[in-house]
């Protein structure tokens, strides 16, 4: 088994620690592992940002970090430049010179060696500038776009030659969405080489693996659900899921920084926001789209986030009997350091948020991302949850809330969420929700959401406690040698699962055993206070039928 790991971002230390730990374990099991590292061959890369731009010394420091990290480990590595020729560099330089003089339409359709590089690099621009739309008519953004094209054209030539020389059976790569990691993934696909991409999980010490696609690939969560939807949870598993959900609300055990204030003031929410306690609250959660906007796999949704918000505002205007509170996504940086950047590159985004802040009807409220009010207090006080593609959809459903989702995101296909992917479907879902009693909760929705949460975090993701996580950005090996890593009983189960995935071709999404499939749902019935035991799976009631239907 030959494993090629393309790792241009070892400076992102926590990911480097997880990656190396998995590869050390696989090497100890007999795999031949080789790293490919970046030695400053790109004119721009994903480690460059507006707040941390490229400097003459930056690449040298990055190379030193990479070499220093791997020099302490028994892992072989090469620099990517060794796979480039002078002819490659000349071809790329000529191509880029032509693009600089080409009309915008040609730049936006740019191909290299017959490959659609323009679509492969877009995610990097969205992520670098944190913008949801790219206007390449902006000369500064166009120059950055062309710089990414240059780097990824060089990467395409070098990676093809590296694949040709090493003939790997497996490509192991971080993320697979950004810049040249996307190129590596496409090279592997074209050559029929199996691919595993990895990213941080939702909890500390957890990593998610995606097979033959990038880390945010659409449809993965729906496949997790399809495998495990018919398997009832035990009382112990229910408590694990409930504890985890409580931790998400309180900001404990997260693999990332906590955004929302700790909850505990739901009973005071009406006074704080000047809301009528005799009218239902609908909690609306926009999403951070720049993390998905550059990936063509997600497609173009029929209802954009702006369309969804405008339709929601229009519905609230026509129905003063409801109250809607919009909570801005904490990772939409249209304030603070990035506001001038976004205003320059996508002024529409800033103007739209200003409209939300100042022009809502009397029965709507807007909570900025820095508001001291907890999103979870808002959820607790609400009757209906509405969102675009946010993870909060699942968290609301886990509390038994009816939830309407309008965006084409990773949660599409989960039956305990009411999908409304057209404006007509959205209006129908809202009309139906008018009949919900204040504070409505459905234990069957909660049951399904808990099953999904447990499968998502505790069946699909790998638990790697051998890497300590002092902060969301740093990882520290808990083992002092490969022997210690492999002998640790604490880490055994998921390392064994990783071995089966790589050597035996097992799916990254495990399947339930026969005993699990035959388990009855008595524990769930008791936990959620359901009236009687049901078959292993019953479709969510979601929303009652409209009263006028």
The lowest-confidence range among 4-13, 48-57, 224-233, 330-339 is 330-339
Q: How far is CA 196 from the centre of its chain?
A: 16
Q: What tens digit of pLDDT does each residue of 446-492 get?
A: 999 999 999 999 999 999 999 999 998 999 999 999 999 988 655 56
Contact 192, 171 (CB under 8 A): no
3-state secondary structure 17-67: HHHHHHHHHHHHCCCEEEEEECCCCCCCCCCCECCECCCCCHHHHHHHHHH
- 332 — pLDDT class (breaks 50, 70, 90): confident
DSSP state of 83: G
Does the pLDDT of residue 305 top 90, yes or no? Answer: yes
The rounded mean pLDDT for the chain is 91
Q: What tens digit of pLDDT does each residue of 491-543 get?
A: 568 999 999 999 999 999 999 999 999 999 999 999 999 976 554 444 444 45
- The pLDDT of 280-301, averaged and rounded, is 83
- 188 — pLDDT class (breaks 50, 70, 90): very high
C-alpha–C-alpha distance, residues 22 and 512, integer Å: 24
State percent of the chain over pLDDT 70: 95
Q: What tens digit of pLDDT does each residue of 341-359 get?
A: 888 888 988 899 889 999 9
For residue 17, CA distances in Å to 10, 484, 530 come to 9, 16, 44
Does the pLDDT of residue 177 top 50, yes or no? Answer: yes
Question: Residue 384 in 3-state DSSP?
Answer: strand
Polymer length in residues for the chain? 549
pTM listed for this prediction: 0.92
Q: What tens digit of pLDDT does each residue of 381-395 get?
A: 999 999 998 899 999
- The pLDDT of 59-71, averaged and rounded, is 92
Does the pLDDT of residue 549 top 80, yes or no? Answer: no
- The pLDDT of 8-13, averaged and rounded, is 92
State percent of the chain over pLDDT 90: 74
Torsion over CA: 155, 160, 166, 168 (sign): positive
C-alpha–C-alpha distance, residues 11 and 49, integer Å: 14
Beta bridge partners of 502: none
C-alpha–C-alpha distance, residues 413 and 106, integer Å: 37
Q: What tens digit of pLDDT does each residue of 405-416 get?
A: 998 878 888 999
What's the confidence (pLDDT) of residue 532?
63
């Amino acid at each position: 088994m030959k494993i090629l790991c393309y790792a241009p971002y070892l400076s992102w230390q926590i990911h480097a620690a997880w990656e190396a730990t998995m590869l050390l374990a696989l090497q100890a099991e007999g795999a031949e592992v080789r790293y490919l590292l970046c030695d400053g061959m790109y004119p721009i890369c994903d480690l460059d940002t507006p707040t941390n731009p490229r400097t003459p010394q930056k690449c040298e420091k990055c190379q030193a970090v990479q070499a220093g990290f791997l020099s302490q480990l028994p892992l072989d590595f090469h620099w990517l430049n060794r796979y480039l020729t002078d002819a490659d560099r000349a071809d790329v330089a000529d191509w880029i010179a032509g693009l600089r003089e080409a009309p915008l339409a040609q730049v936006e359709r740019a191909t290299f060696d017959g490959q659609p590089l323009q679509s492969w690099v877009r995610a990097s621009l969205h992520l670098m500038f944190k913008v949801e739309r790219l206007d390449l008519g902006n000369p500064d953004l166009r120059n950055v776009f062309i710089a990414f094209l240059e780097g990824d054209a060089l990467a395409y030539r070098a990676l093809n030659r590296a694949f040709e020389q090493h003939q790997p059976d497996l490509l192991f790569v971080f993320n697979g969405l950004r810049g040249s990691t996307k190129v590596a993934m496409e090279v592997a696909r074209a050559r029929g080489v199996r691919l595993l991409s990895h990213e941080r999980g939702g909890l500390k010490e957890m990593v998610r693996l995606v097979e033959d696609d990038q880390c945010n690939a659409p449809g993965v969560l729906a496949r997790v659900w399809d495998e495990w939807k018919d398997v009832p949870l035990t009382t112990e598993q229910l408590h694990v899921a409930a504890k985890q959900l409580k931790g998400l609300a309180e900001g404990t055990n997260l693999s990332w920084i906590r955004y929302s204030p700790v909850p505990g003031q739901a009973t005071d929410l009406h006074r704080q926001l000047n809301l009528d306690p005799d009218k239902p609250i609908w909690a609306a959660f926009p999403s951070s789209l720049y993390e998905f906007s550059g990936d063509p796999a997600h497609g173009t949704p029929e209802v954009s986030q702006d369309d969804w918000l405008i339709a929601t505002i229009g519905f609230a205007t026509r129905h003063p009997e409801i109250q809607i509170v919009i909570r801005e996504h904490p990772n939409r940086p249209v304030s603070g350091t990035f506001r001038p950047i976004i205003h320059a590159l996508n002024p529409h985004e800033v103007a739209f948020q200003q409209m939300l802040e100042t022009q809502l009807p009397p029965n709507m409220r807007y909570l900025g991302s820095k508001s001291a009010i907890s999103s979870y207090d808002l959820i607790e006080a609400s009757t209906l949850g509405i969102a675009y593609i946010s993870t909060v959809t699942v968290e609301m459903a886990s509390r038994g809330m009816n939830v309407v989702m309008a965006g084409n995101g990773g949660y599409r296909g989960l039956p305990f969420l009411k999908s409304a992917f057209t404006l007509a479907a959205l209006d129908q879902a809202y009309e139906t929700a008018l009949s919900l009693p204040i504070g409505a909760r459905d234990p069957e929705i909660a049951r399904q959401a808990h099953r999904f949460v447990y499968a998502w975090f505790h069946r699909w993701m790998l638990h790697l406690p051998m890497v300590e996580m002092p902060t969301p950005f740093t990882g520290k090996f808990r083992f002092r040698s490969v022997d210690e890593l492999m002998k640790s009983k604490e880490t055994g189960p998921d390392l064994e699962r990783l071995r089966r995935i790589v050597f035996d071709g097992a799916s990254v999404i495990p399947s339930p055993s026969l005993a699990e499939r035959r388990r009855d749902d008595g524990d769930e019935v008791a936990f959620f206070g359901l009236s009687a035991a049901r078959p292993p799976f019953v479709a969510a009631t979601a929303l009652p039928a409209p009263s006028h239907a």
